Amino acid sequence: MKNKILLLMTAALSVSLTASAEGDGLAGIARKVGTFLDSMSVSGVDRRYIDAPKKPWQLLLKGNINQSDLKISSTIHHAEDIFMFMKGDMTWEPRVKTAPATYAGLWAGYRGYGLGYSWNIGGDNGRILSLGATGGRYGVNMRIHWFDNDKPEVRLTGNGLSDITEEGDLVFSPFSFSDYFELGSPIKTRALFIDGFYLFNGTKCSYAAAYDQSVVQKRSAGSLMAGAMYFHSTTAYDKDINADLILFLNDIGRIKSWQASVGLGYIYNWVPTRGMLISGMAIPMLTFYNHHKMWRYDSTLKDLIYTEGLDDYDEIDVKDYRIRPSEENPVEGVNSNMKLNFDARLSFTYEWNDNIFFNAYGQYSNFRYKTDEISGRLDDWYVNASIGIRL
């Protein structure tokens, strides 16, 4: 894969210099790079199984349904130090599960190298930017998803005050409580996904045929495949009005995560009849790099609780909430242990003729992290449907 990328860069530079010397200008450069990409798309493949359409450009009208499920779990030790009605450890778990969000957008590419952008038309107030590059044996994709939520579902567990004896002793009992927590300012999340694949049987099985239709799979074939994935997310709710949420989450108001994973899986392209392709792939991923950074905040709310022992937050006007960077350990970076993640996709393609095609595919990804005080996981799935034309 690295050799092909290096070859592509070298060839692009070569044709650029040649075109400039001949006075062809940008048009000449474009023609020669296009010719190179045309040859690359079927380089080394078995043409009985894989072939390239005559027209190289693809223009797609896309529809997308997406859902993200973000869960953060924080354990407060010795909760009685903060909350008079609690004792021992208290676990606070906000969950941002977006409603299935609908997007519409466009994607344009040349021989599998393209760019797309989708706008939210209902659901999570999000946006999606995607880029793709596929060759005979490899595929590289990038997707950025922004979304926010101002009413997370929160689950609270711990030991709460349940009774007072005649002698005045306090009795605490285990309890669990779930409800929606309305925020003055939403929890905002940005997630970046980059994944790459290499097919060991790229001469007969094509990733591009299933996911961007830059080539055509003519016969059924499968391949063992290697995969790598990079994931980066930022979750932020560090606003004054969210001082109570920050307090419940161990004073953490912003979290950033970086993860890198590698895995080995399998893809199979099934061609039941001419013009139809059903493809499935699954890759278990081992996350070998799992780093997180957390920003902590103190607040006027926390000050009042510690100095006056307040147990009724209704006594405090939220307009008076103010947060500030924590005096102790305001920014902390930690590494988590290796985790097992998972990447799976299923695709359906139907081509009416050489110029018009339909494609639908779905993907599911799972990311997890854990430190001594806080843990989290993000489940992300989406289903994409598109109608495309070759030009």
Is the model's pLDDT at 15 over the cut of 60?
A: no
Tell me the backbone φ, ψ of residue 58, rounded to 5 degrees.
Answer: -125, 130
For the chain, give the percent of residues with pLDDT over 90. Answer: 18
Average pLDDT rounded to a whole number, residues 128-132: 80
Q: Where are the alpha helices (DSSP H) in 224-378?
A: 243-248, 300-308
Q: pLDDT by residue (tens digit) across 136-152?
A: 677 888 888 887 777 77
Band the pLDDT of 184: cuts 50, 70, 90. Answer: confident
Is the model's pLDDT at 100 over the cut of 80?
A: no
Candidates 189, 201, 161; CA nearest to 68 is 189
Is the model's pLDDT at 284 over the cut of 80?
A: yes
- What does the mean pLDDT of the chain come to? 79
Is the model's pLDDT at 5 over the cut of 50?
A: no
Joined together, the tokens standing for residue 24 give 């062809």
Q: pLDDT by residue (tens digit) across 39-48?
A: 555 566 788 9
Q: Where are the alpha helices (DSSP H) in the chain?
A: 2-22, 25-41, 207-211, 243-248, 300-308
More confident residue, 225 or 355: 225
Among 35-44, 153-162, 301-310, top mean pLDDT goes to 153-162
Band the pLDDT of 313: cuts 50, 70, 90. Answer: low
Spatial contact of 255 and 293, defined as CB atoms under 8 Å apart: yes
pLDDT at 125: 64
CA–CA separation, 113 and 131 (whole Å): 8
pLDDT at 327: 86
Q: pLDDT by residue (tens digit) across 203-248?
A: 999 888 888 888 889 999 999 999 999 989 898 999 999 888 888 7
Buried b (16+ CB within 10 A) or exposed e, 111-144: bbbbebebebeebbebbbebbbbbbbbbbbbbbb
Average pLDDT rounded to a whole number, residues 315-326: 82
Side-chain half-sphere CA neighbours of 93 within 13 A: 16
Average pLDDT rounded to a whole number, residues 300-314: 67
Whole-model pTM? 0.72
Q: Report the range of poorest mean pLDDT among 182-186, 232-236, 309-313.
A: 309-313
Average pLDDT rounded to a whole number, residues 84-96: 76
More confident residue, 264 or 117: 264
In the block, which residue shows the tokens 């993907």?
363
More confident residue, 349 or 62: 349
Joined together, the tokens standing for residue 140 give 């590289």
CA–CA separation, 187 and 67 (whole Å): 16
User: What is the helix (H) or strand (E) element at residue 153, kind and residue range?
Assistant: strand 153-164
pLDDT at 29: 55
